[in-house]
Amino acid sequence: MKDKSISSRIDKILWLLVTILPLIIIPIKGIPDIFNVAKAPVLALSSGYVLYLLFKFGKFQPVIETKALIGYLILVFIASLTAYKPLLALTGVSLTAGRFEGFITLFFYAVLFYAARQHMRISEKNVLFFIIVQALIAAYAIAQFFMIDPLVEYFNYTKGSYATIGNQNFLASWALMLLVFASGFYMKHMKLIYLIFPALFFGALLASNTRGCWLALMVVILVSLYFLKFSKLRISYFAVLGSFLLVFLTMNFLSKSKIQHRTKTIKSELDINNEWAGSGRALIWKMSYDIVHEHPFLGAGPENLKEALKQTKNKRAQQYAKLTGHTVDKAHNDFLHIAAVSGVPTLFVYIFFILVIFVKQAKNFAFGSAKSILALALLAYLLQSLFNISVISVAPLFWVFLGLFASDNSRFTVN
């Protein structure tokens, strides 16, 4: 009975965390970052309490993916100790650098993954509560797209759609994962009212103007075409696509073809020979690869990419700073970033960790099942991560979804 009570408590904390974390901001003028300053301590306190409960539960299961994750953490810890700035690498933040993704935060992600794998339960009731709250954020992002936002006016932030997530690219990675998840939720339960959720998340994705995530969605849609062979899902599948089309036509018309014009730039941005392709990502990838070449085994240390580029007097970074006025602290490709800051061996262990989970769960991919929904949502996140970065506004949801995906099917209920 005691074990069941602890497990239930962990389940509730995880659902509450992924539900409220994207919402949290500190709307006080003068704070350098109103979005993440509050999210970081909430993530830390929640993960710390979950860790305490895991110790109290006391039953550790060292399956192969857990062993791989521990190996990944050990390598990241070593990379942190050998970093240009070890304290920054461990904590993920200093007065002048860091996005709160040092070793400690990565450790918290691992705690969330393991806790979700062992204790989290998925049901229509808790998923519905989660999606409704997230849909409010999506509606806020769409409102921003149409220049309706007192927060932007008051704080004088750059106009754009980022809701409470903090950046349009991060909003896109969050919206992409959720629109896939919400689409599967609607198709599983076949309730017409639930169709509003994928439509809202798709609207938020369009509002973000983030082409990398648009491309990732196209790939996921192509992959999902395979499941049209299941006749009972065809109507709901086309209903989802129809809602996407309706949202696109409406938002494009009301914005005077702004979205359509943005899509036409995708082709030119895919020219990898152009260093400024992908809004400068090609150049960022090249300078990040320079750091991989400079530190192939242990990397520069978590959150130390910016410092490594500075210390090595990287010419590409200097060129980028001169032309844009900005410095680079992330590789804008999650896999490349791991190699640059934690070393190539660490990247291999991370990829092995992800692959093991997908291979072990392949037998549960019957379309319409919760596992297939999670698989597509995770695939969407991993695809967009080729053009984006990991941030505490979105990454915890990915790690919790990954833990749910790796969990026992017996904890996936219907009601």
Q: What is the DSSP string of 10-34?
A: HHHHHHHHHHHGGG-----TT-S-T
Contact 163, 204 (CB under 8 A): yes
Residues constituting the chain? 415
Both ends of the chain: CA-CA distance in Å? 22
Q: Is the pTM of this model over 0.85?
A: yes
Q: Check residue 415 and give its pLDDT.
A: 45
Q: Check residue 277 and give its pLDDT.
A: 65
Contact 68, 354 (CB under 8 A): no
The residue type found at 361 is: Q
d(CA 112, CA 6): 15
d(CA 381, CA 126): 22
Task: Look at the block and give the residue holding tokens 């970081």.
Answer: 40
- Judged on CB neighbours under 10 Å (0-12, 13-18, 19+), 401 is buried
Contact 184, 373 (CB under 8 A): yes
**Tokens standing for residue 390:** 């990991």
For the chain, which residues score pLDDT lower than 70?
A: 1, 152-158, 268-278, 366-368, 410-415
Q: Nearest to residue 18, comparing CAs of 415, 392, 378, 312?
A: 392
Residue 314 DSSP code: -
Q: Check residue 158 and give its pLDDT.
A: 63
Q: What is the DSSP string of 293-304?
A: HHSTTT-S-TT-
Q: Check residue 152 and give its pLDDT.
A: 65
Task: Look at the block and give the residue holding tokens 């053009």.
Answer: 387
Q: Check residue 414 and give its pLDDT.
A: 45
- Judged on CB neighbours under 10 Å (0-12, 13-18, 19+), 97 is middle
- Judged on CB neighbours under 10 Å (0-12, 13-18, 19+), 354 is middle
Task: Look at the block and give the residue holding tokens 């791991």.
Answer: 338
- Judged on CB neighbours under 10 Å (0-12, 13-18, 19+), 1 is exposed
Secondary structure in 3-state letters for 116-163: HHHHCCECHHHHHHHHHHHHHHHHHHHHHHCCCCHHHHHHCCCCCCCC
